[in-house]
Structure 1
Amino acid sequence: NMSTCATPSSPCRCRGSGSPSPVLPSRHAHKNRRLTRTLRRPSSARGVGLGTSARAARLGVMDGVGTIVDGSWCDEFAHLNDRLPHEPLALPQINSTCRVVLVRHGQSTWNAEGRMQGCSDISVLTEKGQGQAAKTRDMLMNVKYDALHHSPLKRAAETAQIVWGDGRDGSPVHVHASLREIDLYTFQGLLKNEGVEKYPDEYALWKDTPADFAVDVGNSVHRPVVELWYRGSLAWQHVLEDADGGVAESRLVVAHNAINQAMICTALGLPPRFFRKVLQSNAAASALTFSPASEEGGQVGVSVGAINATPGVRSLRPRSGAPAQVLLVRHVDVDSKDGYAEASRVAVLLRKCSVSTVCACTSRNTLTTAGALVEELRAKPPPIGSFVTSAETLDDLEGGESLLRTKSARLLVMENLAAPEGEAWQRSSEAWAALCEEADAAPIGSSLVAFASAEVIAAIVCRALGVEDSQAPATIASLQGDMPYGALSCILRPKGGTEGFLRCYNTGTV
């Protein structure tokens, strides 16, 4: 049961039929335009095989990348008229809760070569990429889906088939052109060093301020990231369209790095300047839950379950030679029957992350969770050094300055990691500044771990990403909503920098 969904067709300028008018599809406008086709496993050919449509071939698009015809960009998606520099659409109204798991495709041949892919359809999965997709399938084995939605590009379609797996006969499968990767026009197919050589000024914008990045295409100037944000919001119209049956549903979406970022950010109301601030690794999974608006015409509720989660600790291990990363961990509930066991589980996981500094406030739950990590490091010293302390037990700890000092790791009590309910955002500036200072002093290639409450962690993430005051309350509410005890999140930042990048959020909880 497979359908193909696209935005409403309009005249394609590359065929000389005039300028199309912007199309803002209604929520159900495309239902009757779906075309049934058979799901086929992508060709096993590697690095060759263009898979272009007959229509694209007639237009001269024979390389799977695209070309300029009569002053306009022309490829198999040109007729959709969805490359628009418009403000993102609001999330569609829904009548039932819907959980969506977003997966990026596994490593592709062009990923391995370092080529800029965009919406081109030449690259396919490498053997490593197929393995990554299989591991993600295993990670998501216990997640039940009611439908699959995926990009039409081969690298995503192959990943979708692997992750979707067998035994789901009868479940609908939808292919949406809106889920394709970012449109990079003449940059598509370039090696990164070729982009620097051929388009030095434009490439500098692409790397440094991508929201301002513009490409001259024939008679037009396109802003790829701004267009992507609109298309990300359009993709939500397609994915959430049928979430009105009155029962909770779960959907799997398999797409690409940039479009996944745009979908996550538009769901949270974050503008295009957040491009590249929410990382999406090959075959990583993110999860968002949407709930009906509390009043007619109100905003649809969004709760983040995970962002960029990978099997094991791949998204938590520090990068060799990089400044210390900041790991944020929600404390456990020590009064629950599994509280201490959960604290020990988190400690064992963090032991693999080259921990150099442990930070916590003086609350019982937070100190106990931090203490479990201290005991784990004391019993099994991390590779970067042995753990020594003058404190015999957790009861010896008191608030104030550094309390446990080690040859390469220490436990700090930081009162700014605590905040009364509703005051986390106001206190997060001070907390994030203190964490940045400690991270700058930590060894290269290590991890600073901070234990805190869900609200404080969500506020620190917003502060690290540069969320503005006006947007912070809504974003914090979305981030803290589905955060379980023991959830781990990771922020990367340049040494001395105040803004960072979200490497993963609530990993291990998809």
Structure 2
Amino acid sequence: MTVPTMPLAKITPTPLLYVRHGQTDWNLEGRMQGGQDIPLNDTGRNQARRNGMVMKDFLPDLSMSSDDFVFVCSPMIRARETMELLRTEMGLDPQDYKIDKRLREITFGEVEGMTVPEMKIKRPEVIQNRRQDKWGYVHPGGESYKMVSERIYEWMSEQQDPMIVVAHGVVMRVLRGLLCGYAPAEIPDLDTPQDQFLLWRDGSEAWI
């Protein structure tokens, strides 16, 4: 599949609230986390609670309530834990949300678990190839940003209702690229904070 050139914004329900999962120990250590199922650490749990508290107070500013949204989450434990803490802070049943496997994080394959300094020693060719084309580079045994963007486009094009999404950093970047029309070369360097959530509405994005 090839991602269409038309921005996904033209067919996406709005508003969309996107939460990146809270911090894990691997995030803190700078490890390539990817497809590894790493749980939140204490900082990550506090970030998830913060986002839930702020979101609860923010929804009335949109003249909406939690009932107006579909809650959907990556199947990975760090995302599910974030979703359940967020929903608890919002006064909702923590287990009442949907899971879609297409929201899983990019797979880094053979370099998962490594830090960049470790990769420079053990897999220097990966560092070099990623630097040349971070968007299109397919990690050995894994995926590229482009491949993730294709599955996120497929998923997003099926949605019909405003959503609150909890997923991952690379997923957040490619979704922002699809919605806002960022150039592929820009997408891998987009910010992905864990202590704020993204609001996309009426063709523009903001951090809350």
* Equivalent-residue separation in structure 2 for 1:170 and 1:153 (angstroms): 16
| CA shift in 2, pair 1:212/1:285, >3 Å | same
- CA 1:206–1:283 in 2, change beyond 3 Å: closer, same or farther? farther
Deviation of 1:229 after TM superposition, in Å, equals: 1.5
Q: 1:153 aligns with which of 68, 76, 98?
A: 76
Q: Which residue of 2 aligns with 1:114?
A: 30
Structure 1 residue runs without a partner (length 5+): 1-85, 244-249, 290-301, 310-509
Identify the residue that residue 152 of structure 2 maps to in structure 1.
232
Give CA deviations for 1:431-454 in whole Å, capped at 9, x if unaligned: xxxxxxxxxxxxxxxxxxxxxxxx
Confirm or deny: 8 A CA contact 1:213 1:225 kept in the other structure: yes
Report if aligned partners of 1:229, 1:272 keep a CA contact under 8 Å in 2. Answer: no
In structure 1, distance between residues paired with 2:191 and 2:144:
18
SS across alignment from 1:101: strand
- The count of aligned residue pairs is 197
- Matched AA of 1:285: F
Partners of 1:259 and 1:154 lie apart in 2 by 15
Does residue 136 (structure 1) correspond to residue 59 (structure 2)? The answer is no
The answer to whether the 8 Å contact 1:178/1:235 transfers is: yes
Aligned residues: CA RMSD: 2.6
Equivalent position of 1:163 in the other structure: 86
1:304 corresponds to: 204
Are the counterparts in 2 of residues 100 and 287 from structure 1 also a CA contact under 8 Å? yes
Assess, with a 3 A threshold, how the Cα gap between structure 1 residues 132 and 208 changes in structure 2: closer, same or farther: farther
Task: Note the alpha carbon deviations across 1:56-86, whole angstroms, 9 max, x for none.
Answer: xxxxxxxxxxxxxxxxxxxxxxxxxxxxxx3
Question: Are the structure 2 counterparts of residues 124 and 170 from structure 1 closer, same or farther at C-alpha, using a change threshold of 3 Å?
Answer: closer
CA displacement at 1:223 relative to structure 2: 5.2
Say if 2:103 is the partner of 1:179: yes
Kept in 2, the 8 Å contact 1:151–1:157? The answer is yes
Specify the alignment match of 1:198 in structure 2: 122
| 2:27 counterpart of 1:103 | no
Which of 169, 178, 184 in structure 2 is aligned with 1:272? 184
Partner of 1:133, secondary structure, is helix
Give how far 1:268 is off. Answer: 2.2
Calculate the TM-score normalised by the size of structure 2. 0.82
- TM-superposed CA distance for 1:159, in Å, is 0.7
By relative contact order (CA 8 Å, sep 6+), the higher-ranking structure is 2
Identity of aligned residues (%): 22
Tell me the amino acid that sits aligned with residue 112 of structure 1. L
Question: What residue is the counterpart of 1:74 in the other structure?
Answer: none
| Deviation (angstroms), 1:119 | 1.9
Higher helix fraction: Structure 1 or Structure 2?
2
Following superposition, the deviation at residue 261 of structure 1 comes to 0.5
CA distance in 2, matches of 1:163, 1:107: 14
Flag the structure with higher strand content.
1
CA 1:171 to 1:161, structure 2 compared with 1: closer, same or farther past 3 Å? Answer: closer
Give the corresponding residue for 2:62: none
Structure 1 residue aligned with 2:42 = 127
Report the 3-state secondary structure (helix = DSSP H, G, I; strand = E; otherwise coil) of the residue aligned with 2:3: coil
Q: Does 1:285 align with 2:194?
A: no
Structure 2 residue matching 1:205: 3-state secondary structure? helix
Structure 2 unaligned spans of 5+: 60-64
Q: Helix, strand or coil: the match of 1:230?
A: helix
User: Which is higher, the Rg of structure 1 or of structure 2?
Assistant: 1
Question: d(CA) in 1 for partners of 2:94 and 2:84?
Answer: 15
